[in-house]
Structure 1
Amino acid sequence: MSKNSPTSRQSVWATKVLAIVQGGNSQAALAQIKVAPTVKDLQQLRKLMLANNLLAKHRLLEEAIDANLALLAAPRLHRSP
């Protein structure tokens, strides 16, 4: 297994948030989604939730994932000091 293989690494953050969702604490999962570290982590969470048929049950979480993907993917507007 190569260290550089992008498909070999699964997001630790995404698996932890998935465990929170499976445990029934959707409010805690929502809070975690709002502070997601990267787009890749959110995409991995979406894949895990789809694989476990959880997105249909948790529409609010799906909407939060979509919204935060858009926020993280958007270019940042910077103002020079």
Structure 2
Amino acid sequence: MSRQSVWATKVMALIKGGNSTAAIAQIKVAPSVKDLQDLRKQMAAGNLLKTHPNVDAASSDMIVALSAPRLHRAP
């Protein structure tokens, strides 16, 4: 049983509040792939992936970027 990411919950609040620009800025400095995946799960549960295609694209792109071994972020 895993806990939901606090980061993902905070970014979801930005998205629900209509501030997708700030959400994308946060996505670009995401702490880990797991946090991004948690965010995408929360967005899918709230049917927000279709209504915010720019956030959807940014999160997908960052998952790919952070998954590359040469581009991972140090803890």
Paired position in structure 2 for 1:31:
25
Q: Which structure carries more helix by proportion?
A: 2
Paired position in structure 2 for 1:63:
57
SS at match of 1:76: helix
TM-score between both structures, scaled by the size of structure 1:
0.84
Shift of 1:75: 1.1
TM-score between both structures, scaled by the size of structure 2:
0.91
Cα RMSD over matched residues? 1.1
2:29 equivalent to 1:45:
no
Cα distance in structure 2, aligned partners of 1:29 and 1:76: 25
Per-residue Cα deviation, 1:40-81 (whole angstroms, up to 9, x for no partner): 00000000000001000000111001110011000117xxxx
Decide which structure has the larger Cα Rg and report it: 1
Segments of 5+ residues of structure 1 without an aligned counterpart are none
**Moved >3 Å (runs of 4+):** none
Q: Percent identity?
A: 61
